[in-house]
A = this chain, B = another copy of it.
Amino acid sequence: MTKKSVTKPPAETETAPRRRRRKEARPAEIIAAGMQEFALRGFAGTRLEDVARRAGIAKGTIYLYFEDKESLFMAAVRERVGPAILEVASFVDGFPGTTRELLQLVIPVLHQRLVQSDLHTILRIMIGEGSTFPGLTALYYRETVLRGRELLERIVARGRARGEIRDGAAADLPLVIMAPAIMSAIWQMTFMREAPIPPERFLAAHLDLITEGLLVPEAGR
């Protein structure tokens, strides 16, 4: 092996240039490729080399657009997560029906957004590696979790005002309303292989648990 900083001899049909200059399109492509690799290997486990290959560029190009690996991930959070929450929030205000109907509308969307899409990837990375990267966690909390909490709180406040939601510890921590959706996302990512449970079953159980509770109304007190 005596080659040393020698570039490859092209010598082939020069139909399409091997390189393209596409300053505008690159960032989005790199983010997309990054999310796919992050989903596969987690944050620490992802090699920028692989992200580059998936995006069809060289590793160095990534550093043209992003400071480092962490910046890339943060950019992904910003681009993907923001819109999802806003979309759900929009139809809570001014919804005409009962709380039951509202929940039956919102919870499926929650599942769809959390289990489908890239959101579950981000969720997984936050859980698994958040403590190693406090900056990521803070950003994710502000941009996603906090908005989600506000949304749920608005639903509960509305339901209470209409006399449709019981006072009690559950209503005091609206966050728990979405616990089954989170569990579903975790299950799909983690134990799908060992014991497949379709997301629809989680969704059905979720709706049933929240709207009806587990026990028969009159049983024991």
> Could you tell me which A residues sit within 8 Å of B by CB distance?
40-42, 44-45, 98-101, 124-132, 134, 137-138, 141-142, 145-146, 149, 159, 163-166, 168-173, 175-180, 182-183, 186-187, 189-191, 193-195, 197, 201-202, 204-217, 219-221
Contacts and interface: CB of A to CB of B under 8 A. Distances in A.
Contacts of A40: 131
Number of copies of this chain that the complex holds:
2
B215 A99 contact: yes
A173 B201 contact: yes
Contacts of A142: 194
Contact of A214 (B98, B171, B175): B171
A208 B141 CA distance: 26
A165 B214 CA distance: 6
Contacts of A127: 124, 127-128, 186, 189-190
Nearest to A195: B141
Nearest to A168: B208
Contacts of A195: 141, 145-146, 149
